[in-house]
Amino acid sequence: MSVVAIVTGGAGSIGRATGRRLAQDGFTVVLADVNAPAETIAGCVFVRLDVRSAESIDELFRFALTLGTLQAVVNTHGILHETPVGTFDEDEIASIIAINLTGTARMAHAAGVHLADDGALIFVSSVTASIGRAHGGYAYLATKGGIESLTRAFAVALGARGVRVNCVAPGFVSVPMQGSGAESREKRGGAEALLPFTPLNRLVTPVEVADAIGFLCSEQASGIAGVVLPVDAGQRAF
């Protein structure tokens, strides 16, 4: 029987790279997103998903379980709107929380029900969860900090079943987030303006983030649970 992985945010750069990596590792991958990926990836099938909807999540898991044993659930979905200190747009803040944090919690709950006992549940946070100098997006930062807390809570709750729950925290990625993320980066001087904050003097790539996720989903990480793994070219150390 096939081993199956669900990857949310499957249309994004990290989601696509993760789908490709897990397919290469032998998973049948369900890429889930509100939008279809720009390209077809071998070993991956696309399912439309709205993480704000419990019904949409239930349909996703029902489909994934028809393909084989659900061995991994990876949550890479997320949105970024500018919420600079000194402003308070309730609609934008509510939207960020609904997708980034509440949607991730919904996915984690469903994963806890349906994952195989030796499966892996992976969250994606951000280096910005632990720094205050990332201007203009305090709501996004707060949700990423919340995701790191979810990691620890679900690692404890699901550990008795052998489910390993971990988190990857990317630094600034060479491909910016779609929409507001790309606009925010350009407004602040583009990728070049970020390099002084990275000890390796470069941005990380989606493939590097996907490789870390692939490792955490593998038997090589069988003794790792409840960790937040930075993939940030040294930003967290800066």
Specify the CATH number for the domain of residue 77: 3.40.50.720
- For residue 140, indicate whether it is catalytic: yes
Task: Quickly count: other Cβ atoms within 10 Å of residue 170's Cβ.
Answer: 26
The domain of 75 spans 3-237
- Separation of alpha carbons 213 and 9, rounded Å: 14
Number of structural domains in the chain: 1
The pLDDT of residue 219 is 97
What is the full per-residue pLDDT of the chain (238 aa) written as tens digits?
799 999 999 999 999 999 999 999 999 999 999 999 989 999 999 999 999 999 999 999 999 999 999 999 999 999 988 888 989 999 999 999 999 999 999 999 999 999 999 999 999 999 989 887 767 789 999 999 999 999 999 999 999 999 999 999 999 899 876 666 556 656 666 777 778 888 999 999 999 999 999 999 999 999 999 999 999 999 988 8
The two structure tokens encoding residue 201: 């003097």
Q: Which of 140, 154, 172, 197 is catalytic?
A: 140
What's this model's pTM, rounded to 2 decimal places? 0.94
Q: What is the pLDDT of residue 84?
A: 87
Give the helix ranges, DSSP H, for 7-137.
13-24, 54-67, 90-96, 103-114
